[in-house]
Amino acid sequence: MYSGQTVFSQLTSYVPIKSFRRCVKRYRGDYKVQSFSCWDQFLCMVFAQTTYRESLRDIEACLRSMPGKLYHMGIRGKVSRSTLADANENRDWRIYADFALILIDIARKLYQDDDFGLELDETVYALDSTTIDLCLSVFPWALFRKTKGAIKLHTLLDLRGNIPSFVWITHAKVHDVNILDELIAEPGAIYIMDRGYIDFSRLYSLNLSQATFITRAKSNFRFQRLYSHPVDKSTGLRCDQTIVLSGFYASKDYPQKMRRIKFYDADSKKHLVFLTNNFKLPALTISQLFKCRWNVEIFFRWIKQNLRIKSFYGTSLNAVKTQIWIAIATYVLVAIAKKRLKIEQSLYTFMQILSVTAFEKVDICQLVSERQYKCLYDHNSSQLSLFDL
C-alpha cells in the first residue's frame, strides 16, 4: 500500500518553491504576515481550481474537513474564508503572474519537441482573446456596456503543447490589436492571428523584427498585384500572389511587399484570403498553419469549462487577477506533471482524476494507469437479476 504523499502534494511537488519565494519577496507578499502566508494562499487557490470549488465557503468547508492532512499538503496556516478573501484582496497579483510565467518557461521547454500537426522548426504561436463576462453591479470597475461588465484575456499560445506563453488581462473595451504593442517579437517565430489584429504599422514592426505573421485579409483590403505564382488548385489553393498595399495610409504603414494567398475551405465552403510576410513556406503550409489557430479557441473553451475563471471568489480587480493568474499557473502545473510523469491520458482526464483524489495517498501513476479491474459476482446469490423479473 502506498503510504507517501497525498495526490495534491505530489502535484505541488513540481512547483519550484525557491522561485515562488523570490516572487513573494519581490513584492513583499509576506510582509507582516503571521499565519496565512502567500504559499498557503497559493495552495488553497490551486486546490480550489483542481477540485472545482465554487466559493470561499466551499474551499473552507472542504479543507477544514481534513485537518489532519493539511499539514502534509503543505498548508500551515488556518484556513478560513475571511483570511483567504483578505489575501486575495490585498496581496499583489503580480506575485502569481510572475510565478505563472516561471512555470510557463518550464513547461515550454518540456513541450518544445512536441508535434502540432506540421513539421516545422520554427516556434509557432496563435494569438487571440476571449471575453469574461462580469456582473456590473458586483464588479463596477469592469464597465463594458451600459448594463454589462467584462474583462478580456489576451493570450499568445505556443502550439507545441498548447502552453500560453504570454497573457495580458485588460478591460473588455481594449481592442485586440493593442496587444501587439505589448509583445516582444521573437525573431524567426510565426505568429498566427485573425483579421481583428490587422494594423499595418504594427505588422510592419513584426516584419522588421524578422518574425513571420499570418493573418486574414479584410473584405475592403486594397492592393496591387506584382506577381502570380503557380498553385495546385486540387489542394484548395486558388492563388499565390506577391502584392503591395495600394491604400494611401496603408502603403506608408507597410511599404514593403506582402504575400497574398487565396484558399477554398471545402469544410466550411468559404474562400479565405491570407496575408503574410513569409515568402519561403509553401502556400499550402501557410493555409494549414492558419487552421492551427483554432487551438487557441479550444484553449479558451477548455479553461472556461475546467477552471474557475468565470465565477470569482473576490470582487476587486486584484482578487480577479489573482484568481486568473493562479488558474493559469494550475493549468501549466498540471501540464508539467503530465509531461514529467509521461501520462498518456488527455489533460482533461488527468484533471478529472486529480479533482476526486486530492486527499488520497495513492501514487499518481497508479491512478492514471489503464488496468482492467474485474468485478467478481456471486452467482449463487439469492438476489434476482433485473431481467428475471
Question: Is 74 a domain residue?
Answer: no
Question: What's the pLDDT score for residue 146?
Answer: 84
The CA distance from 83 to 35, in Å, is 10
pTM recorded for the entire structure: 0.90
Q: Extract the C-alpha cell encoding 23.
A: 516572487
Is the residue at 55 inside a domain?
no
- Cite the DSSP H helix spans in 91-237: 94-110, 200-208
Per-residue pLDDT, 110? 94
State the pLDDT at residue 367.
85
pLDDT of residue 235 exceeding 70: yes
Q: Hey, is 198 helix, strand or coil? A: coil
149 sits in which H/E element: strand 148-158
Judged against a pLDDT cut of 80, whether residue 381 lies above it is answered with: no
Predicted confidence (pLDDT) per residue in 293-312, tens digit: 999 999 999 999 999 998 89
Q: Is residue 345 part of a domain?
A: no
- pLDDT of residue 97 exceeding 90: yes
Confidence at residue 370, expressed as pLDDT on a 0 to 100 scale:
56
Share of the chain above pLDDT 90, in %: 74
CA–CA distance, 87 with 123 (Å, rounded to integer): 38
Q: CA 183, CA 157: separation in Å to the nearest integer?
A: 12
Does the residue 165 lie in any domain? no
Number of helices (H), then strands (E), belonging to the chain: the values are 14, 10
* Confidence category of residue 376, pLDDT binned at 50, 70, 90: very low
SS3 124: strand
201: in domain: yes
**257 within 8 A of 229, measured Cβ to Cβ:** no
How confident is the model over 281-292, as pLDDT tens digits? 999 999 999 999
Is 61 inside a domain boundary? no
| H/E segment holding residue 215 | strand 212-216
Q: How far apart are CA 144 and CA 378, in angstroms?
A: 63
pLDDT band at 383 (very low <50, low <70, confident <90, very high): very low
Q: What is the DSSP string of 353-365?
A: HHHH-TT----HH
Decide: helix, strand or coil at residue 61: helix
> Quick one: pLDDT at residue 3?
54
- Of 266-270, 370-374, 375-379, where does the model show the most confidence? 266-270
Pairing status of strand 190-193 against strand 124-134: parallel
Q: In this structure, is residue 253 part of a structural domain?
A: yes
pLDDT at 74: 83
Residue 208's domain comprises 195-291
Q: Which residues lie across from 133 on neighbouring strands?
A: 150
Confidence of residue 373 (pLDDT cuts 50, 70, 90): very low
Q: What ranges in 144-216 are assigned the alpha helix state H?
A: 200-208
Alpha-carbon distance of 333 to 347, in angstroms, equals 11
Count of structural domains within the chain: 1
pLDDT at position 378 is 43
Beta-carbon count within 10 A of 213 CB: 25
End-to-end Cα separation, the chain, in angstroms: 42
Helix (H) or strand (E) holding 250: helix 248-253
pLDDT over 70 (residue 389): no
Q: What is the mean pLDDT of the chain?
A: 90
Mean pLDDT of 59-69: 89
- Other Cβ atoms within 10 Å of 158 Cβ, number: 23
Does the residue 66 lie in any domain?
Answer: no
Predicted confidence band at 147 (pLDDT cuts at 50, 70, 90)?
A: confident
In this prediction, residues 371-379 reach a mean pLDDT of 40
Give the Cα separation of 367 and 356 in Å (integer).
Answer: 11
Question: Rounded to an integer, what distance in angstroms lies between the CA atom of residue 51 and that of residue 62?
Answer: 10
Position of cell 502552453?
163
pLDDT tens per residue, range 22-60: 999 999 999 988 889 999 999 999 999 999 999 999 999
Q: How many CA atoms lie within 13 A of 67 on its CB side?
A: 3
